Chain A
Amino acid sequence: MGDLYDSQRAMRQMRKAAMQRGVVAILDVGTSKIACLVLRFDGPERLRSVDGVGSMAGQSQFRVIGAATTRSRGVRFGEVDAMQETERAIRTAVQAAQKMANVRVDHVIACLSGARPRSYGLDGALDVAGGMVTEQDISQVMANCDVPDYGANREVLHAQPVNFSLDHRSGLADPRGQIGHRLTTDMHMLTVDATAIQNIFYCIKRCDLELAGLASSAYASGMSTLVEDEQELGAACIDLGGGSTGISVFMKKHMIYTDAVRMGGDHVTSDISMGLQIPAATAERIKTFYGGVVATGMDDREMIEIGGDTGDWEHDRRTVSRAELIGIMRPRVEEILEEVRARLDAAGFEHLPSQQIVLTGGGSQIPGLDGLASKILGQQVRLGRPLRVQGLPQAAIGPAFSSAVGLTLFAANPQDEWWDFEIPADRYPARSLKRAVKWFKDNW
């Protein structure tokens, strides 16, 4: 397994290099839009010597200096569908953001929403040899985890140690230096389709950019929308995107489950388009202007001109009442939410101490969604907007940007992943100098 994470380690090195240069771009490749933010890491806390979380929850160290969004092309269900089109869209967003930032960006941290994520909970155990837990023990206990057979064409996107326990004590965040006999760990591993990652990697490469990190967009949304106590006590973040709906469950400030429903706002739009016989662009516009999920008596009287370009007067003068529109939208939204409910049930969400559900993403802006969601998902539902970060333009603070903002936090304070820890000694190459040094350290 040692060489499985080489690409992840390479990306981490790249991220370090980007931090050194001080400029890194965030790319959210979504189905309906592609957002690019340019971050500059030069805040007062860049070289902070004090431990703990800094001022403004550690976000004063970076600043958004460029932001751009573009209509996404060639992306379906959060996966790259047409390579050239996607590349062009990425180029558009990056160029506009660079122009705003007036700085050249070379490193990109990207997130993707689709690619059929699958979560695995792993656990591993180790008898601590020296009595005191060392870094080597931690890497060894993680290497001892039983990795399930996640399929041939899959790639590990996240592998985060969620919990450590030493003998009878559990919930340790950092067991290094503690005395005990038996160290166990729980790990959350997320795998996605390898082809999807390769495609997005290739697209970014073709834009002369270096990929410095890759994250699941559900995870990034959860990072930015869930407040601290929700992350601590247990909450689910539902990111209603364009082509897919991401679900991430957080507990004790760690993501413990991620899944995605391959339905989203685009499906609602196509329903409207099909139901009302109008082009998709008009349907999208009608959805954003007049859409809703709860019909009232007033809505029967509110007529919407849906127009047309055929030249046929009768056809071009069609109107539809808002109640009809809601009647088209609601079943699809219900379907999405019920699918989410099924996924959460499968994950055992009801066993969490707190069952807060936060809706975010562009789809969460449908009026009345929170009422509908509380009927399906439970009582504790709220609409979430991303955290405010420094320098973010007004146009990019909506819930549609929660995964982009989450990625900025991911860039600033990345969570420890498996590959961030030391490599266990027995996985070094046999003739490695490091291995020799380690042998000397262990024996003297």
Chain B
Amino acid sequence: MRPLTAPRRPAAAPRDPAPSKLGYRYQRLMLTSGFRGSVRIGVPILLIAIIAGSWFSKPANREVLNTQILQAKQGFQERPQFMVQSIAISGADESLQLQAAALLPDAFPVSSFELDLEAMRKTIEALDAVKSASVRVGQDGALAVKITPRVPVALWRDGGVLHLIDAGGVQAGAVAVRAERLDLPLIAGDGAKHKITEALALYAGAGPLRTRVRGLVRMGERRWDIILDRDQRILLPSDGAVAALDRVIALNDAQEMLERDVAVVDLRNASRPTLRMNEEAAAALRRVNEAGAYN
């Protein structure tokens, strides 16, 4: 009997179509490693750049982004732990405190991100009376300002103005009248404030004359004169001034020289100390000598 089903057909030859020339070239291009790499990295980057560029090209979008950035920044900076509530100034007397506080911001609370501590420190240090200052945001949201004031050691007369001078020769303020700071020596003359230590040494060495000293004058930026009351003047040499002053004090102790009517004690030449008397004294002396000569 013959089978009713159709006989098994031989399988058709496997389809093996030739690639088109374009497809072949495309495949070869994609197998080129450099090209493939550039496509894999370059195309996504280009896409991102296009999208971002088209979004940014609209001003409204840019504004929204800027606002959002600003808000986020503000939200972070104005957290309570970053807020400065008060000022604590230490190390200065009251007048200086008031002066410094006037230079610091007064609108509190303020975020510590908005404070320029370095600039604040510089403005405070720019004050005459302040030697150095440190500004930091301390505990409990207080702006801690620590001031080291200058210590005035002398008064310096510059024309009609009386300046306070510290040991480095730097101005530490001004006073209206001499009577405000009677405890400080008064110095004057060109270059006097650069030789404060010498002046202080002389002032310290004045000893019994201290009450009579009215001031020290720098002469010719070289040497000192000590002015006493009754317009007496001690001319000191440029070298060994303190020793010369000691010598004057010794003379004064022995012969009460300065109690007499002497205008100037000149010790500039150590080997030849000279006295200049007032006119009446000189005349009197001449009279006495003449009388002595006639006798």
Residues on A lying within 8 angstroms of B by beta carbon are: 70-71, 88-89, 91-92, 94-95, 98-99, 102-104, 207-208, 281-282, 285, 305, 307, 316-317
Question: In the bound complex, how far is the Cα of B33 from the Cα of A208, in angstroms?
Answer: 17
B7 lies within 8 A of A92 (CB): no
Which residues of chain B have C-beta atoms less than 8 A from A207's C-beta? 24
CB-defined contacts of B18 to chain A, threshold 8 Å: 88-89, 91-92
Contact A103 B31 (CB under 8 A): yes
Q: Give complex CA distance A208, B7 in Å.
A: 46
Residue of B nearest to A285 (CB): B10
Q: Which residue of chain A has its CB nearest to the CB of B12?
A: A281
* B7-A281 in contact (CB<8A): no
- By a CB distance below 8 angstroms, the chain A residues around B27 are 95, 98-99
In the bound complex, do residue B9 and residue A92 qualify as a contact, i.e. CB atoms below 8 Å apart? no
Contact at B31–A208, with CB atoms within 8 Å?
no
Residues of A within 8 A of B33 (CB): 104
Contact indicator B31/A307 (Cβ below 8 Å): no
In the bound complex, do residue A71 and residue B31 qualify as a contact, i.e. CB atoms below 8 Å apart? no
Report 21 cross-chain contacts, Cβ distance below 8 Å, ordered by A residue. A70-B16, A71-B13, A71-B16, A89-B18, A91-B18, A91-B24, A92-B17, A92-B18, A94-B24, A95-B23, A95-B27, A98-B28, A102-B31, A103-B31, A104-B32, A104-B33, A281-B10, A282-B10, A305-B7, A305-B8, A307-B7
**Does B19 lie at the interface of the complex (its beta carbon under 8 Å from any beta carbon of A)?**
yes
Considering the complex, which residues of chain B in the window 1-46 have a beta carbon less than 8 Å from any beta carbon of chain A?
Answer: 2, 7-10, 13, 16-19, 21, 23-25, 27-28, 31-33
**Nearest chain B residue, comparing its CB with the CB of A101:** B31
CA distance A43 to B278 in the complex (A): 120
Provide the bound-state CA to CA distance between A281 and B16, in Å.
Answer: 15
Q: Please indicate the chain A residues that have their CB under 8 angstroms from the CB of B25 in the complex.
A: 208
CB distance from B68 to the nearest CB of A (A): 47
CA distance in complex: A208, B28 (Å): 9
- Least CB distance, B36 to chain A, in whole angstroms: 9
Residues of A within 8 A of B19 (CB): 91-92, 95
Q: In the complex, A102 Cα to B10 Cα: how many Å?
A: 34
Please name all residues of chain B whose beta carbon is closer than 8 Å to the beta carbon of A305 when the two chains form the complex.
7-8
Contacts of A95 in B (CB 8 A): 19, 23-24, 27
Q: How far is the CA of A285 from the CA of B13 in the complex (A)?
A: 10
B28–A92 CB distance below 8 A: no
What separation, in Å, do the CA atoms of A2 and B58 have in the docked complex? Answer: 72
Question: Taking CB as reference atom, which chain B residue is nearest A103?
Answer: B31
Nearest A residue to B19 by beta-carbon distance?
Answer: A95
Minimal beta-carbon separation of A370 from chain B (angstroms): 28
Partner of B7 from A102, A282, A317 at Cβ < 8 Å: A317
- Which of A91, A92, A103, A208 has most B Cβ within 10 Å? A91
The chain A residue sitting closest to B10, CB to CB, is A285
Contacting residues, chain B, for A71 (C-beta < 8 A): 13, 16
Q: How far is the CB of B93 from chain A (nearest CB, A)?
A: 85
Minimum CB–CB distance for B95 against chain A, Å = 86
Nearest Cβ on chain A to B34's Cβ, whole angstroms: 10
Distance from A56 Cβ to chain B, minimum over Cβ atoms (Å): 29
Encode B238-277 as 1/0 by CB contact (under 8 A) with A: 0000000000000000000000000000000000000000
Within the complex, what minimum Cβ distance (angstroms) separates B151 from chain A? 84
User: Contact check: which of B7, B10, B28 meets A104 at CB < 8 Å?
Assistant: B28
Q: CA separation between A4 and B25, bound complex, in Å?
A: 33
CB pair A307–B9 under 8 Å, yes or no, is yes
Nearest CB on A from B32, distance (A): 5
Task: Give the nearest-CB partner of B30 in chain A.
Answer: A104
Q: A307-B7, A307-B9, A307-B10 are in contact. Are A92 and B16 (CB under 8 A)?
A: yes
Closest 8 CB pairs of A and B: A88-B18, A104-B31, A92-B18, A91-B24, A95-B19, A104-B32, A70-B16, A104-B28
CA distance A9 to B276 in the complex (A): 123
Chain B: CB-nearest residue to A91: B24
When chains A and B are docked, how far (Å) is the Cα of A124 from the Cα of B33? 50
Contacts A98-B28, A282-B10, A305-B7; is A91 near B16 (CB within 8 Å)?
no
Bound CA–CA A70/B14 (angstroms)? 10
**A95-B19, A208-B25 known, 15 other contacts, Cβ within 8 Å:** A70-B16, A71-B13, A88-B18, A91-B21, A92-B17, A94-B24, A95-B24, A98-B27, A104-B31, A104-B33, A305-B8, A307-B7, A307-B9, A307-B10, A317-B7
Once bound together, how far apart are the Cα atoms of A99 and B19, in whole Å?
12
Residues in A with CB closer than 8 Å to B24 are 91, 94-95, 207-208
Residue of B nearest to A90 (CB): B18
Assembled-state Cα–Cα distance A305/B28 (Å): 45
Q: A207 vs B23: C-alpha distance in the bound complex, in angstroms?
A: 12
Q: How far, in angstroms, from A208 to B32 measured CA to CA in the complex?
A: 13
Across the interface, which residues of A come within 8 angstroms of B32, CB to CB? Answer: 104
Residue of A nearest to B2 (CB): A317
- Report how far A19 CA is from B19 CA in the complex, Å: 28
Expressed in whole angstroms, the minimum distance between the Cβ of A48 and any Cβ of chain B is 27
Cβ of A348 to closest chain B Cβ, rounded Å = 43
Give chain B residues whose Cβ lies under 8 Å from the Cβ of A88.
Answer: 18
Question: In the docked arrangement, what's the CA distance between A91 and B31, Å?
Answer: 15
Contacts of B13 in A (CB 8 A): 71, 281
Cα-based distance from A11 to B8 in the complex (angstroms): 51
* Cβ-closest chain A residue relative to B14: A71
Interface residues of B in 180-221 (CB under 8 A from A): none
Chain B residues with CB under 8 Å of A103's CB are 31
For residue A278, give the distance in angstroms from its CB to the closest CB of chain B. Answer: 10
Contacts of A99 in B (CB 8 A): 27
- Give Cα distance in the complex from A248 to B28, angstroms: 36
Q: A317–B3 Cα gap in the complex (Å)? A: 11
